[in-house]
């Protein structure tokens, strides 16, 4: 039983909801099941980093060219640098029936869903709104302004949350990692993701009936 | 984190694909997670059976009345007796956020989906068409006519299969039982099944933002 293609999985979530940690532990726990999408970036390579491992390192001109040629699924700027998801790398993986995970913010997620309507969108949240507030304001080291900004962003993310497929409730890390893994594995058995196998089964059954 | 309601889960599948065995082991492995829908029937109670446990035992008049009053989700006849799924029992369970499983054939399944559009439809199949053929013809004790009949039924079921949500591949029993359990548990975290929790989270976030 093989599904038609690998899955494009997008993991987003509220700031402080722990999506980075979940991702890291998921990949450690299931190294052969999932592939991490590697982003392109214009930021400088740091000591210990390797081109094509942490990032595909690009000049501003190369990055602009990728945008122009529609080679990026989505891109965004952060601290004056560009970050984007190369389309070809993701397409190669899913054609080879490999699942690929993208950790990106909500606007990028919607762009990915436009390009890959079968993408699986997962939204990470703390177990309650009170807990979310704690994580946003709780460190006690932030100014009122930074907190207000974070709350405003979270409010916008909450509006987009409803366009996601599944919620990941990050209560304990271990449970959240298991939950992400179970959801992805369950999705492989969706009827809509197994049209080839179903078609074959139907054709075989028709042949048996005729030859019986 | 609580989903809005319990799930209505329908388990169907090809004859000989082992759905009855999967169901039995699923309920044994997770006795507090799932409730089995109890059917109404006009067949006679047998020794050791109890009304309201194996079945709700009804006279033909009572059963007709249930049909008339639209109290059944679906019904069918088998060996001259009527069997049906009482709607009220299922509704009570899901309102109390309890998952209820119905083991019914494909036509009944579609009726349930009409009544409960959120119902989760699972279709059990052997790992390959060849294996399905083996299970349909393999015992060597059946006449050509019986085999032809089974193949015709399987062909009709295969056409309806595409209206189901997930495939359950019964390769080994243990894996199939785990698969059913994982799919149901994953479904609980679907955004569309958690509208109440999402609404609350959004309201709380708005209050925090205003009061900050």
Q: Inter-chain contact A144–B212, Cβ cutoff 8 Å?
A: yes
Q: What is the pLDDT of residues B24-47, one digit of tens each?
A: 999 999 999 999 999 999 999 999
What percentage of chain B carries pLDDT values higher than 90? 74
CB B121 within 8 A of CB B157: no
Q: Inter-chain contact B155–A201, Cβ cutoff 8 Å?
A: no
CB A125 within 8 A of CB A169: yes
Q: Inter-chain contact A127–B185, Cβ cutoff 8 Å?
A: no
* pLDDT band of B130, cuts 50, 70, 90: confident
CB A1 within 8 A of CB B169: yes
pLDDT, residue B99, reads: 97
A142: closest CA of chain B, how far (Å): 13
Rounded distance between C-alpha atoms, residue A167 and residue B199, angstroms: 13
- Note whether B175 contacts A: Cβ–Cβ < 8 A: no
pLDDT, residue A160, reads: 95
* pLDDT band of A172, cuts 50, 70, 90: very high
Q: What is the mean pLDDT of residues B145-154?
A: 87
Q: What is the mean pLDDT of residues B53-68?
A: 96
Query: Is it the case that residue B49 has pLDDT exceeding 80?
Result: yes
Residue A82 backbone phi and psi in degrees, to 5: -95, 140
Q: Inter-chain contact B189–A209, Cβ cutoff 8 Å?
A: no
Q: Which of A132, A182, A200 sits opposite B182 (nearest CB)?
A: A182
Rounded distance between C-alpha atoms, residue A127 and residue B154, angstroms: 45
Q: Which of B151, B186, B205 sits opposite A154 (nearest CB)?
A: B205
The Cα angle at residue A43 between residues A40 and A48, in degrees rounded to 5: 90
Determine what percent of chain A falls in helix, strand and coil, rounding each to the nearest 5.
Answer: 50, 20, 30
* pLDDT band of B139, cuts 50, 70, 90: low
* pLDDT band of B179, cuts 50, 70, 90: very high
- Note whether B153 contacts A: Cβ–Cβ < 8 A: no
pLDDT, residue A139, reads: 65
A114-133 as b/e, with b when 16 or more CB fall inside 10 Å?
ebbeebbbbbbbbebbebbb
* pLDDT band of A2, cuts 50, 70, 90: low
* pLDDT band of A146, cuts 50, 70, 90: confident
pTM score, whole prediction = 0.91
CATH class assigned to A8-37+99-211:
alpha beta
Query: Is it the case that residue A3 has pLDDT exceeding 90?
Result: no
Q: Judged by CB atoms within 8 Å, which residues 110-149 of A form the interface with B?
A: 123, 125, 127-130, 132-133, 144, 147-148
* pLDDT band of B4, cuts 50, 70, 90: confident
Query: Is it the case that residue A26 has pLDDT exceeding 90?
Result: yes
Give the nearest chain A residue to B163 (CA atoms).
A191
Q: Judged by CB atoms within 8 Å, which residues 31-50 of A form the interface with B?
A: none
Q: Which of A152, A179, A209 sits opposite B151 (nearest CB)?
A: A209
Q: How many CB atoms lie within 10 A of CB A50?
A: 9
Query: Is it the case that residue B1 has pLDDT exceeding 60?
Result: no
* pLDDT band of A4, cuts 50, 70, 90: confident
What percentage of chain A carries pLDDT values higher than 70? 98
- Note whether A168 contacts B: Cβ–Cβ < 8 A: yes
B137: closest CA of chain A, how far (Å): 10
Please give the helix or strand (H or E) that residue B115 lies within, else none: helix B106-115
Which ranges constitute the DSSP H helices of A9-128? Answer: 19-29, 60-68, 87-95, 106-115
pLDDT, residue B142, reads: 79
Query: Is it the case that residue A1 has pLDDT exceeding 60?
Result: no
A133: closest CA of chain B, how far (Å): 8
CB B133 within 8 A of CB B125: no
pLDDT greater at residue A41 or residue A143: A41
B12: closest CA of chain A, how far (Å): 14
Q: What is the mean pLDDT of residues A139-167?
A: 88
Rounded distance between C-alpha atoms, residue B97 and residue B4, angstroms: 7
Helix (H, G, I), strand (E, B) or coil at A108: helix
Query: Is it the case that residue A127 has pLDDT exceeding 60?
Result: yes
Query: Across all residues in chain B, what is the average pLDDT?
Result: 92
Q: What is the pLDDT of residues A5-15, one digit of tens each?
A: 999 999 999 98
pLDDT, residue B208, reads: 86
Could you list the beta-strand ranges (E) of B22-143.
34-36, 39-41, 55-57, 72-78, 81-86, 99-103, 120-125
Query: Is it the case that residue B140 has pLDDT exceeding 80?
Result: no
Q: Inter-chain contact B183–A189, Cβ cutoff 8 Å?
A: yes
- Which of B10, B22, B121, B186 would best serve as a mutation to test chain A binding (most A beta carbons within 10 A)? B186
> Could you say which DSSP state residue B80 is in?
T
Alpha carbon separation from B127 to A197, A212, B135, B168 (Å, rounded): 10, 21, 11, 9
Alpha carbon separation from B79 to B38, B43, B142 (Å, rounded): 19, 9, 19
Q: Judged by CB atoms within 8 Å, which residues 6-25 of A form the interface with B?
A: none
Contacts of B130 in chain A (CB under 8 A): 204
- Note whether A2 contacts B: Cβ–Cβ < 8 A: no
Size of interface A-B (CB pairs under 8 A): 130
Query: Is it the case that residue B2 has pLDDT exceeding 80?
Result: no
Q: How many CB atoms lie within 10 A of CB A56?
A: 17
């Amino acid at each position: 039983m093989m599904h038609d293609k690998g899955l494009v999985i997008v993991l987003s979530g509220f700031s402080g909801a722990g999506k980075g940690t979940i991702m890291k532990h998921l990949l450690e726990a299931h190294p052969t099941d999932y592939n991490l999408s590697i982003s392109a970036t214009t930021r400088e390579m740091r000591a210990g980093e390797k081109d094509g491992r942490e990032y595909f390192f690009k000049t501003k001109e190369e990055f602009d060219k990728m945008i122009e040629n529609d080679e990026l699924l989505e891109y965004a700027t952060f601290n004056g640098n560009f970050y984007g998801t190369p389309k070809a790398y993701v397409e190669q993986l899913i054609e080879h029936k490999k699942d690929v995970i993208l950790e990106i913010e909500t606007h990028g997620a919607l762009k990915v869903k436009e390009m890959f309507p079968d993408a699986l969108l997962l939204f990470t949240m703390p177990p309650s709104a009170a807990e979310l507030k704690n994580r946003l304001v709780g460190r006690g080291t932030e100014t009122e302004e930074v907190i207000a900004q974070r709350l405003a962003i979270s409010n916008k993310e909450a509006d987009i949350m409803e366009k996601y497929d599944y919620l990941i409730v990050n209560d304990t890390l271990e449970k959240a990692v298991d939950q992400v893994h179970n959801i992805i594995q369950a999705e492989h058995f969706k009827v809509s993701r197994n049209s080839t196998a179903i078609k074959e089964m139907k054709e075989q059954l028709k042949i048996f009936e005729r030859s019986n």
